[in-house]
Structure 1
Amino acid sequence: MTTTERHEFQAEVRQLLDLMIHSLYSNKDVFLRELISNSSDALDKLRFERLTRPELGGGGELQIRLEADRDQRTLTISDSGIGMSRDEVVRNIGTIARSGTREFLDRIKSTRAGEVPPELIGQFGVGFYSAFMVAHRIELVTRKAGEDGATRWASGGDGAYTIGDGERAESGTTITLHLHPEDSERALPDYTDERVLADIVKRYSDFVAYPIRFGERTLNSMKAIWDRPKSEVKEEEYKEFYRHISHDWNDPLRTIPVKMEGTLEAYALLYIPARAPFDLYSPEMRRGLQLFVKRVFVMDECKELLPPHLRFVRGVVDAHDLPLNVSREILQKDRQLQVIRKQLVKKVLGALDEMKRDQRDQYVELWSQFGPVVKEGLLSAEDRDKLLDLVLAPSTDRSEQLSTFDAYVSRMKDGQDAIYFLTGPTPEAVARSPLLEAAVARGYEVLLFSDPIDELWLEQAQRYKDRPLRSIARGDVALGSEDERKQASEALEEKRREYGDLLACLRVHLQDHVKEVRLSSRLTSSPACLVADENDLTPRMQRMLAQLGQALPPTKPLLELNPGHAVMERLQRIFRESSADPRLGLYAQLLLGQAHLADSGQLPDPAAFSEALTELMVGAAP
């Protein structure tokens, strides 16, 4: 007995359908690219399943067919792929289970009213729904490979769909679109015209590995672009293949053909995207290259081919010496795959370095998109030297907006032995840090880092070539020539003798919050700052570890005071009049709070800070 049920779409799907139906986007041809891509994926999955389940064979040729009926205004896309069960239809079409759905909808709303950019359609994995840009009703019949029954799904895009039993002799999926009338004003060509369909397939789907047929005619070339000589491939062909595998409408920033010969044979075609995907930092991100063995699809999202810090790279790898039935467990131990991975990493890092040298503007844009991810690789010693050469950072040298380590070294002052850097929570905060004052005043350049990952990898790297990396927020930083350092040390020692008793008094007031109160050689205009002891974690690093659930026993910072600041003279006068004056405790709280705020941290005791500020203001009133 055939049963048909009516269901409401998930709320997000209803919003999505409404956006698609009312889209003003001029290039609606994207719908066919998306549906063909889905069919290609289904065929890949069936071919892979047949490697271990021979009973799924014998179902005829793996292909995609287009059929059009001009009188009925229908376009049908069918494939002989893996198909879907009833539950899969509900899960994959009736709902959107991806965490990016809300962000997709938000991004759409932030564009021009009613417009659906095609790069978002592909990037967020909602391509099936793009068919509602050209159709007022969609019917789908599908049968899962290895199962007996078929499922029929239909919707007019009105917020609901029907689902029930269907009829289909073999596994696969058939989608019938009931098309809107041809309308040049709405950018709706006649999608029942073979010439229109052939042009779209040639433009977007020529590289699909399965025949796309209209009647007796095959519309695509099915050529494996990755093993063709680079001289025979047009740039536009590379771009279209990128769009096919990535569902990204933007052109790639860089195309990297790879050919490996010798002890093993493999081909690869890698792409560096122009924009970071919305889920770049999500654990659910789809990452990894497509893996083929002798042009036979084996695996999507093969994470073993590239390290996590290159997860933004898209592309395909065709390895001729791997077994077809390779599993992820085998891949993790396979020596040949490790050789391939090493070569791919070398090629990608080489391409990035070349772009940094020869296409600086492009590289700066790339770094803004993927720099924090690339820097994750610096947590490991593998390829660290090559990755350090790729790092860009703003600096206190205003002559160059972003600097490499190599460029920094070329500008170092005579006698300078270390590369100075400072980290902070935001570019603005680190650029305004009082810790920079003495270095800048004496003409020393400081590299500025503000990505969360920077605190971690700078702890690990420690050196660039033969130069130590030195944080100006830790320990004692000796600036200047040997004579200048000697003079500065003698002057600071004289101030220590002058303010020694006062510092001891302030230390008592702040003993619960700081390890030490001492005079600073870093400050020129600010009264106070917080630094870490030579072997301690910086306050920001401690906060980061706490947020990651890896809190260590708290380490107190050092409070440094500017011996040349007027506030020190004020405190010294108060102290000489009476070492028990309560204002000393109030000033101590204010200096500590001010130092925390300058470090973009939280006040250790907001109530005490507020109380001290109030009392001093009242005391200062005439």
Structure 2
Amino acid sequence: MTKNNNLAKETISFQTEVKQLLHLMIHSLYSNKEIFLRELISNASDACDKLRFESIENSSLLNNKDLSIIITYSKEKGTITISDNGIGLNREEAIENLGTIARSGTKDFFSKLTGDKQKDSNLIGQFGVGFYSAFIVADQVSVISRKFNVEENQAICWESNGEGEFSINYTNKKSSGTDVILHLKADENEFLNGWKIRDIVRRFSNHISLPIKMFKEEWNEEKKEQIITDQLEIINIANALWARNKTDITNEQYIDFYKTTFNDFNDPLAWTHNHVEGNHEYTQLLFIPKKSQFDLWERDHKSNLKLYVKKVFIMDDSDQLLPNFLRFVKGIIDASDLPLNISREILQESRYIKIIKDSSTKRVISLLEDIANNKHEDYLLFWNEFGQILKEGIGEDFNNKLRLSKLLRFASTNSQDNSQKVSLIDYVSRMKENQNDIYYITADSYEAAINSPHIEIFRKKNIEVLLLSDRIDEWMLSYLQDFQEKKLISIAKSDLDLSNFIDEKDKVEQKELIDSSKEFIKNIKEVLSDKVKDVLVSNRLVDSPACIVVGKNDLSPHMIQILKNAGQNPNFTKPILEVNPKHPILEYMKTLGDNEFKEMANIIFDQSLLLAGGQLPDFSEFIKNINHFIVK
């Protein structure tokens, strides 16, 4: 280009402490320097959108013009150039918008729009500092720009090395638009690579509505290297599926988008696609996977939500837009505007963020409700993969606890196998006429739960018991204490009330048994005084000799062991031993001498503790006592 000599080059200082601010931005602000390309592409897209708006009143502006962005690079010169054929800048705008940190020409343009223009201005980004990310990788930046309504020789050339001042002068440019030329630092030559540039564009700017183009590269056998041809090709999709009307998208397109975007070989189980308008505008495209990821239970598990602002990719792993108990969800959130920090990388706390999070949470829960009500086999697949994670929501999301509780599934004594198919609604619908509570038992495994001695009276009376064997169940139940005005009651608690299920004849027999066993019970209690709080005649045992129960507010042996395994040291509270004096082993105990009586009392306690999920302090002593009686 030939310089216009009507005005000599002018050097101008940046406004207000810009040198310090630029230093901060270049060295501290961005955690991923690759995003300089995202920022400059976003600015170029804004410039093209502005020209499109201007063409509403002057249609000739777009005559024979296909708006696009072109990226070129030169290894010889060490430069990357991002060119657009958008609205362009004049001299005053370049000084005003490129000479002031946090000044957004786009935002200023937005504020001047009215009527239909303002309604459609959701295409225009409103970020004021992205341009300066260029200095992360460049030691000099040149901007050649021509405003759409100025003469060819009134184009401007703005240049700066990012150290506190810039120069500006007039130059020639044949067409309107802007070229941003980055003179890369010596140690940033990795970006002078066609594959690298294409990869960055596809990760960060793939869904920009404008075509982004580069010159094709081909392998030259003679030179043994890639050479750049003179043929342009589009390197981005230029179409955000989630921005389209969902009535125009087929199931196959949703599935293909999911597999490609989230690198999953499996089809998604279900999805929800919504566009929300009003004071805050955003789009949600959320998928329920069919299979869980191996790292879902890790503390540093990353979210699978991708955040966009006006189809510009902002971040992966956006964990502020869905609660942790929905971390299995994969999807896209595209907002019209968000309170990002100055580097566009980290979401700031705001009411807008909470609105999106609450809305997305309710959308996912609604989707799960639909699957649970209408696609039972699909919901069983979901529950087997993600049920334990969903249970976390009972303690984490008070507002949605009732809806989540209806989505819970359990194994029960009413089932024929260990599959978790029973909902609380199912259970309540099958409750006995005189039954007021929902009964459950927690254990290390389904087998331990179904064979627990605590269940015997319930099996005899044909009362359903929920069998809970997931590690999270004890924690969850501390938050889920009732459902549809029915209390959830552990059948391993000492205050269990079975009076509604025991007839008068049974009550009389129970009283007689207690009276006749007082001395026997006293002797067992004396032997186990350092291990138990009390010894009682049980009304819940049928076939077993004894069982461990705990007070209403005490930790069960199962929960104590879980906490110990997690590295905690919970306070030990002595349990209560309930015995069945009619059992043959206890009948045999009454014939034993003192020493053997003590051994047998300890064996019965240790067995009961193991069945309750506890751990013996001295397993060798237990084996020794067992062996003694086997030999005898």
Distance 1:49-1:281 versus aligned 2 partners, 3 A rule: farther
Separation of aligned partners in 2, 1:80 and 1:372:
51
**Where in structure 2 are there 5+ consecutive unaligned residues?**
1-30, 48-67, 73-79, 83-133, 141-184, 197-201, 217-230
Separation of aligned partners in 1, 2:603 and 2:278:
69
How many corresponding residue pairs? 455
Deviations 1:416-465 (A, max 9, x none): 00000111111222122222111111100011111111010112211112
Of structures 1 and 2, the larger Rg is shown by: 2
| Residue type at the aligned position of 2:480 | A
Percent of counterpart pairs with the same letter?
A: 33
Contact 2:394 2:404 in 1 (8 A): yes
Picking from 505, 511, 514, the partner of 2:523 is: 505
Deviates more, 1:504-513 or 1:336-345: 504-513
Distance 1:240-1:42 versus aligned 2 partners, 3 A rule: farther
- Who is 2:53 aligned against? none
Separation of aligned partners in 2, 1:493 and 1:517:
16
Show the 5 A alignment for 1:551-566.
551-566=569-584
- Are 2:191 and 1:171 aligned? yes
Picking from 390, 400, 403, the partner of 1:386 is: 403
| Residue type at the aligned position of 2:557 | P
Deviates more, 1:240-249 or 1:402-411: 240-249
- Who is 1:346 aligned against? 362
Separation of aligned partners in 2, 1:418 and 1:340:
38
Separation of aligned partners in 1, 2:186 and 2:307:
34
Contact 1:144 1:171 in 2 (8 A): no
Picking from 566, 584, 588, the partner of 2:597 is: 584
Separation of aligned partners in 2, 1:564 and 1:212:
87
Normalised TM-score (structure 2): 0.65
Separation of aligned partners in 2, 1:221 and 1:327:
25
| Residue type at the aligned position of 2:461 | R
Separation of aligned partners in 2, 1:260 and 1:605:
62
Contact 1:590 1:609 in 2 (8 A): yes
Picking from 476, 479, 484, the partner of 1:465 is: 484
Deviations 1:458-498 (A, max 9, x none): 1221111211001111123233636x255444432221211
Contact 2:338 2:347 in 1 (8 A): no
How much does 1:550 deviate?
Answer: 3.5
Separation of aligned partners in 2, 1:326 and 1:417:
58
Deviations 1:341-387 (A, max 9, x none): 11100000000011001011011011111001110111132311111
Normalised TM-score (structure 1): 0.66
Contact 2:405 2:424 in 1 (8 A): yes
- Who is 1:162 aligned against? none
How much does 1:53 deviate?
Answer: 13
- Are 2:523 and 1:523 aligned? no
Separation of aligned partners in 2, 1:147 and 1:492:
88
Separation of aligned partners in 2, 1:395 and 1:421:
8
- Are 2:254 and 1:238 aligned? yes
User: 3-state SS of the aligned residue for 1:216?
Assistant: strand
| Residue type at the aligned position of 2:567 | G
Distance 1:582-1:167 versus aligned 2 partners, 3 A rule: closer
Separation of aligned partners in 2, 1:64 and 1:595:
74
User: 3-state SS of the aligned residue for 1:589?
Assistant: helix
**Where in structure 1 are there 5+ consecutive unaligned residues?**
1-40, 66-78, 82-142, 150-164, 177-201
Picking from 137, 146, 158, the partner of 2:137 is: 146
Superposition RMSD in Å: 3.7
Distance 1:496-1:255 versus aligned 2 partners, 3 A rule: same
How much does 1:611 deviate?
Answer: 2.1
Separation of aligned partners in 1, 2:265 and 2:35:
24
| Residue type at the aligned position of 1:481 | N
Show the 5 A alignment for 1:285-304.
285-304=301-320
- Who is 1:444 aligned against? 463
Contact 2:560 2:614 in 1 (8 A): no
Separation of aligned partners in 1, 2:208 and 2:257:
9
Show the 5 A alignment for 1:21-40.
none
| Residue type at the aligned position of 1:355 | I
Contact 2:340 2:347 in 1 (8 A): no
Deviations 1:511-569 (A, max 9, x none): 22221221212221111211111221111111222233332321111111123311121
